[in-house]
């Protein structure tokens, strides 16, 4: 028999028991007078294990579970990704405190029912689990470790979940700093784009303490269809995210070059993309981006060439720090850099195709 634990907004422990994987699950509210012990600060400050009726102190048990069920949540960074993710956490019934530099983003969440913090430290002080969704690794360091940052407000026993596309080293450094305050850090970047954030269909790849990950699944499930625990180091999720981005960008650049070359040979792009999506050349670019964005001329994936270039540079930085040559990675990085210089950083990443069309078109002479 397996059990999962979370805390309701009223402070009651929710125990989900799966007796047999073929049976449905039943959920019970259990008070602290029964066979389960309920810690004083949610499930975040002490150990929790099913206890015999003798009432043993849970702190005597060696296996700790930090729980992130129905708890107070903070969210810092309310952009194209963070805004929808924060809204989903609010819709799931969590008490939410938010912060962003953009007053319009703060107002939108306040109108939806969230409390607005005055600064990152204020958000962290009011939250048992604080989420970050920031543009760069440097922004993560500033928001967490800078003046009025998360580190100056977060309480012992809390959890920090960083969903930023960052470097493994940044996440590891932040985790090391906050460990001194008894704060657990999960590196939990996401994939699925703006549409995935809006539809709560993201994939999240999480690195860090497995027990904390297990207890926080309810939070991840508010915005992600597919949560994965990928390793016990907080930076492991960032490794998988950077590798995923590399494969995505490689597919985008490769598909753009192939379709542009086919057009130069006089072939219909719709027919080519349909064939590619049903054949061994299929990838996300030909299955989704070309038929839904590029061929109709929308070019609106909600992810700029500047961000695309930033992320491929983070991949290259990780490869360099790993002392691993990545020849294709360097080529893809250069092509994205050329496209950004040609079209401007604000252009949508799908407009790489426009650049490729001009790159390989026949010379007029």
Q: Which whole-number Å values give the CA distances from 278 to 274, 295, 322, 332, in the listed order? A: 7, 17, 36, 25
Question: 39 with 77, same domain?
Answer: no
| Residues 163 and 121 placed together within one structural domain of the fold | yes
Q: Domain check: are 311 and 216 in the same one?
A: no
Is 191 contained in some domain? Answer: yes
What distance in Å separates the CA atoms of residue 350 and residue 249, rounded to the nearest whole number? Answer: 10
* 79 and 227 co-located in one domain: yes
Cα-based angle 140, 121, 69 (whole degrees, multiple of 5): 85
Please state the rounded mean pLDDT for residues 103-116. Answer: 97
Same domain, 244 and 221: no
What pTM, to 2 d.p., does this model score? 0.80
- Is 47 part of any domain? yes
Last residue of a domain, one of 65, 90, 115: 65
Do residues 143 and 173 make contact, with C-beta atoms less than 8 angstroms apart? Answer: no
- Judge whether 341 lies within some domain: yes
Q: Contact 88/65 with Cβ under 8 angstroms?
A: no
Between helix 168-179 and helix 137-145 the angle, nearest 10°, is 10
- The CATH number given to whatever domain includes residue 353 is 1.10.1040.10
What would the pLDDT profile of 150-183 be if each residue is shown by its tens digit? Answer: 999 999 999 999 999 999 999 999 999 999 999 9
Q: Are residues 215 and 77 in the same domain?
A: yes
Q: Quote the DSSP letter at residue 169.
A: H
241 catalytic residue (yes or no): yes
- Residue 286: which domain range? 240-360
Tell me if residue 193 falls in helix, strand or coil: helix
**Are 281 and 150 in the same domain?**
no
| Residue 281 within a domain | yes
Residue 365 lies in a domain: no
Q: Is residue 355 part of a domain?
A: yes
Q: DSSP string spanning 294-354?
A: ITTT----S-BHHHHHHHHHHHHHHHHHTT---HHHHHHHHHHHHHHHHH-TTSBGGGHHH
Q: Which of 241, 289, 340, 354 is catalytic?
A: 241
Last residue of a domain, one of 205, 232, 259: 232
Report CA-CA distances (Å) from 69 to 55, 95, 102: 23, 11, 29
202 & 252 share domain: no
Asked whether the predicted pLDDT for residue 251 surpasses 80, the reply is yes
End residue of a domain, out of 232, 251, 270: 232
The answer to whether residues 114 and 51 belong to one domain is no
Domain membership of residue 42 (yes or no) is yes
CATH of the domain at 97: 3.40.50.720
Under the banding of pLDDT at 50, 70 and 90, the label for residue 54 is very low
| Strand, helix or coil for residue 6 | strand
Chain segment 258-297, per-residue pLDDT in tens = 999 999 999 999 999 999 999 999 999 999 999 999 999 9
Co-location of 92 and 207 in the same domain: yes
Say whether both 176 and 48 belong to one domain: no
pLDDT at residue 24, as a whole number: 33
Question: 178 CB contacts (<8 Å, ≥6 apart)?
Answer: 144, 151, 154, 160, 184, 185
For 60-69, what is each residue's pLDDT tens digit?
322 233 445 4
Quote the number of domains for the chain: 3
Which residues, 6+ apart, have CB-to-CB distance to 275 below 8 Å? Answer: none
What percent of the chain clears pLDDT 70, i.e. is strictly above it? 80
Q: Are residues 145 and 201 in the same domain?
A: yes
């Amino acid at each position: 028999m397996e059990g999962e634990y979370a805390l309701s907004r009223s402070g009651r422990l929710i125990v989900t028991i799966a007796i047999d994987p073929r049976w449905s699950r039943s959920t019970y509210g259990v008070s602290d007078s029964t066979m389960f012990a309920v810690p004083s600060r949610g499930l975040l400050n002490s150990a929790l294990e099913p206890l015999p009726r003798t009432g043993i102190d849970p702190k005597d048990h060696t296996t700790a579970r930090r729980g992130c069920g129905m708890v107070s949540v903070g969210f810092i960074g309310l952009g194209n990704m963070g805004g929808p993710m924060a809204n989903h956490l609010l819709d799931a019934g969590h008490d939410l405190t938010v912060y962003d530099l953009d007053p319009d983003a703060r107002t939108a969440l306040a109108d939806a029912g969230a409390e607005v913090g005055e600064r990152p430290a204020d958000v962290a002080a009011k939250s048992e689990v604080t989420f970050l969704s920031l543009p760069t690794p440097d922004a993560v360091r500033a928001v967490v470790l800078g003046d009025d940052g998360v580190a100056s407000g977060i309480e012992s026993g809390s959890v920090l979940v960083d969903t930023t596309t960052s470097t493994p080293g940044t996440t590891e450094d932040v985790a090391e700093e906050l460990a001194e305050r008894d704060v657990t850090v999960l590196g939990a970047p996401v994939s699925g784009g703006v549409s995935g954030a809006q539809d709560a269909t993201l994939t999240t790849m999480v690195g860090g303490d497995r027990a904390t990950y297990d207890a926080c699944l309810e939070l991840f499930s508010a915005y992600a269809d597919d949560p994965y625990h990928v390793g016990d180091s907080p930076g492991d999720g960032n490794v998988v995210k950077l590798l995923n981005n590399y494969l995505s960008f490689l597919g985008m650049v490769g598909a753009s070059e192939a379709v542009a070359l086919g057009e130069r040979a006089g072939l219909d792009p719709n027919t080519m993309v349909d064939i590619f999506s049903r054949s061994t050349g299929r990838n996300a670019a030909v299955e989704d981006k070309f038929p839904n964005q590029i061929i109709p001329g929308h070019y609106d994936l909600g992810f700029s060439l500047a961000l695309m270039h930033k992320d491929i540079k983070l991949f290259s930085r990780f490869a360099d720090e790993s002392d691993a040559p990545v020849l294709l990675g360097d080529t893809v990085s250069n092509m994205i850099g050329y496209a950004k210089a040609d079209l401007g950083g604000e252009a949508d990443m799908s407009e790489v195709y426009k650049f490729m069309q001009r790159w390989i078109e026949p010379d007029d002479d």
